[in-house]
């Protein structure tokens, strides 16, 4: 055990976060996200017993967001006509606001299939057990 490290962060995930360089991206995926399919060329970390908010909060305690881009936090947009509500996005914005001076302005959205294409180039994907839909979030790493 280490002091000051959130207990939810496994040794494997800590190693991944440390290995990532400036502008690398990591996806914290909900339980419906095709993590293994999208992650064929990256590292997939399984965290099935956890939700995205708790994982996001733990990561952002250690992970600098990229200050060289306007929106280093990206959410998957709801498909047009899909009657889904996304209250979890407000939770994400609150979490990001605790760790980034830009607050919720650091959070943007991208069309669903564009999100998938970006996820295929991510350094890692964390597969959670989050049951909320459209609950995927992508983080772009900054510098310390």
Residues carrying an active site annotation:
22, 66, 116
Q: 104 CB contacts (<8 Å, ≥6 apart)?
A: 93, 96, 97
Element (H, E) at 54: helix 52-60
Do the beta carbons of residue 82 and residue 120 sit within 8 Å?
no
Q: How far apart are CA 27 and CA 120, in angstroms?
A: 10
DSSP secondary structure string, 66-131? PSSSS--EEEEPPPTT-----THHHHHHHHHHHH-TTGGGGEEEE-HHHHHHHHTT-SEEEEE---
């Amino acid at each position: 055990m280490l002091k000051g490290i959130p207990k939810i962060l496994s040794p494997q995930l800590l190693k991944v976060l440390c290995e990532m360089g400036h502008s690398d991206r990591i996806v914290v995926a909900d339980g419906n996200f095709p993590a293994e399919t999208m992650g064929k060329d990256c590292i997939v970390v399984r965290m099935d017993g956890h939700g995205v908010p708790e994982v996001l909060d733990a990561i952002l305690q250690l992970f600098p967001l990229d200050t060289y881009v306007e929106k280093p936090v990206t959410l998957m947009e709801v498909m047009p006509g899909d009657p889904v509500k996304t209250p979890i996005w407000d939770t994400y914005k609150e979490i990001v606001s605790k760790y980034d001076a830009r607050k919720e302005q650091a959070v943007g959205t991208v069309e669903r299939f564009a999100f998938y294409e970006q996820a295929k180039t991510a350094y890692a994907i964390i597969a959670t057990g989050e049951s909320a839909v459209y609950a995927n979030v992508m983080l772009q790493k900054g510098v310390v």
